Each structure stands twice: as C-alpha cells, then as structure tokens.
Structure 1
C-alpha cells in the first residue's frame, strides 16, 4: 500500500507471487526469444486485499485465477521489452492478456482454481461462456496441454484484409 493508504488504514494491498515454470508446452517457432526455462520463476500479481479501518478483506480479480498454492496453471506468455506506446520497459515475461492463465489441476485444462473457487471443466467453460464463437480457452476446457499444443501447431495466423 502507498504510504498515504498505510497512514489512513484504507486502500488496496496487491498480492505479489513468485511462480515456478514446470515445463513449456508450446513455443512459436518464429519467436525472437527462447521460452522461459523449466525451473525458472516469474513474478506475478493476482488479487490482493482491500483494507478498511486496518482490516484486510481478500479481493479476487474477476475472470482470473488467484494463483493459489497447491494448484497448477497454464499461462500464455510473451517477452516484452517495450510498452504499447513504444517506451522501454524492464524486459520480462508477461501474460498474453486477459485469459492468459488457465486452471490446470491433474493435467486437465479448466480444472482447478479460478476466481478463488475450485471448478471442473464444465463449470469453467460456463464461467467463460460468452455469446458468439467459442474462444480457444473455452474449446480447450477438459483437454490436456498436449491437445492445446496440437491446436496451436495447426492454427492459422489471422491476417487482416485491406
């Protein structure tokens, strides 16, 4: 919390975690950098606490996992060295947008912790369900990382027409 928030006893305390890379399931063959190595660690932020009158209350990011110990997750990452505006940022592995982290307990996509609750693939798919074509995230619920890697290997690049 900021010094001002600490003095007032009101504010938000972010949750910072160190997560371990167990293995890389897929990497774009045209990537300009090597993927993070198995055994390496990444710094992540997930949820936190709101503070009122000095009392902490857990806060969960909507539609995102809390990254709770004892659970396994898949995360789509990219190597970032500059911000969207072109300014230099500290280089590091960043999550590839919303939905970049998926519950993956027992090697099943969509099984595990998300939004602070433990779910199975069917419930996860329902939580993620939005009108329109199913996202890759929704299509992969109930499948394995190997099946996701196969889908990524056979995916076609989206191109824009003039």
Structure 2
C-alpha cells in the first residue's frame, strides 16, 4: 500500500534531473531489483513535487486527470560529465497521446492537452560504453512503456527562469509517485509498474479489507475512469499550499 509522501521543498536542490515526469537527487538511494521477466532493473527513489496520495490531493493540485498512451520515444543522451565518469542515466522523451480527459479543475492553468512530451527514466549505465545499460524506473511508479496505457494527474507549470539556472520551458508535470497509475484495458491497476506487468485482480486479492489509510490508487484498483471521476467530484477540497520557490520569483520576464 502507498502511504509515503516525500515533498521536495526546494526545487532543483542537488538535482541531477528536474523534468516533466521525475525528480532525482544525488542523495537519494538507488536500489537494484528484478523485473517480472527476470531482467535486472534499477529502481530510483525521488521526492514528490506535491501531495498526491488522496483524491483531495489530486483535485487541489492537478489541473486535469487524463488517460494517456505512449506513442513514441527517443533517448536523451547523458551529460558529457556522466560519460567521462563512466556512469549515469540515459533518460527518455516519451510522447504521450491523450485518449480521454477524465476530470478537470474548474479553472485549470490551461486546457487539457491532446498530446504532450514527458521525460521518463530510461536506463542506468556503467563503463565507457553507454550500450552497457540496465533498465531504470522510479519506485512504485510506471516506467511509461509502449503497449500500455495510464491515468495521470497533471499540472501545468509556467516557464521558470531561476537566477543562475538555465530557463525551464512551460510543461505538463505530474504531482508525484501516486499521480501516474496503470490503466490497461481501462482498468485502474492493470498494466505496467516499475517496468513489469501488474494485475489489478492480484492486487485486490492481497489488499487487506480493514487496511487503513489507503491511497487513492489503492481505493480505485480494479475500477474504471467513471469511478475515479466520481471520487474526485465528491472529494473535499484542501487549502493549496506553496511548495518550493514562489512562482513570482522564478517567472520569466
């Protein structure tokens, strides 16, 4: 069950990557695990951008909840420093097609997209040849792979121009670990997680009936988008808090 929430209070601090879909830090531990097909996979820990475990979190911080399917991807080369060091990450730019808009805030930052790009984990490499690589995924998160579909709670982030940093273009971003969930066959919980197949039926069979503090993803496992829409429409709103720097301080002039 998912209950851990790690909010990144200072955006970009000690960051290797701050991208549309992920935030990874040098200080975060990385563990190696096994995928369902017997292949090695590196699982990375990161910090959540915003609260994202409950329906109230989603309606407070997301602009839209969309059903998406990856339609193409391309590799993002590692930095020259990583290549010289002989270890690092190869990320992916994943093109996502929006199949359905499940829910929208009354006054979203901008209309829901019909498609958007998403920076996702790709591979970890070691040695001078980046072809020696191991698949990489975020802990308890989908890797976003072709042949699968997902539900995503997304927020529009305006362009940012922080002093001393490269400008960051406006982009759709997730809230955190629990804001992207498997959605194959329009069943929440069916599909891919951490680069391996997952079954909603198997998850339900192991879910405790009296289990307290279930996340929204846990509560919706095995249900459809209409059930999620109802949960969001009936959730109590929260007072939105500011995490990270004030947008007024990073606005591009």
TM-score range, shorter chain: 0.7 to 0.9
Does 2:217 correspond to 1:137?
Answer: yes
Q: Using a 3 Å threshold, how does the CA distance of structure 1 residues 106 and 81 change in structure 2: closer, same or farther?
A: same
CA distance in 1, matches of 2:224, 2:201: 14
- Give the Cα–Cα distance (whole angstroms) in 1 for the partners of residues 97 and 91 of structure 2: 20
Q: 2-side partners of 1:94 and 1:7: how far apart?
A: 30
TM-score, length of structure 2 as denominator length: 0.54
Offset at residue 111 of structure 1 (A) = 0.4
Moved over 6 A (4+): none
How far the C-alpha of 1:159 sits from its partner, in A, is 4.5
1:61 is displaced (CA, Å) by 1.5
2:183 is the alignment partner of 1:108? no
Q: How big is the shift at 1:17? A: 1.0
Q: Choose from 172, 177, 181 the match for 1:98.
A: 177
- Say which SS state the counterpart of residue 188 (structure 2) adopts: coil
Q: Are 1:35 and 2:108 counterparts? A: no
When normalised by structure 1's length, the TM-score is 0.81
Q: Report if the CA contact (8 A) 2:159-2:171 is conserved.
A: no
Q: Does 1:156 align with 2:233?
A: no
**Aligned equivalents of 1:11, 1:28: Cα separation in 2:** 38
Aligned length: 152
Q: How does 1:18-57 map to 2 (within 5 A)?
A: 18-36=95-113, 40-53=114-127, 54=129, 55-57=132-134
Q: CA RMSD in A?
A: 2.5
Query: Is 1:58 aligned with 2:135?
Result: yes
What secondary structure does 1:151 align onto? helix
Q: CA deviation at 1:138?
A: 0.9
1:113 Cα offset (Å): 0.4
**Structure 1 segments unaligned to the other structure (5+ residues):** none
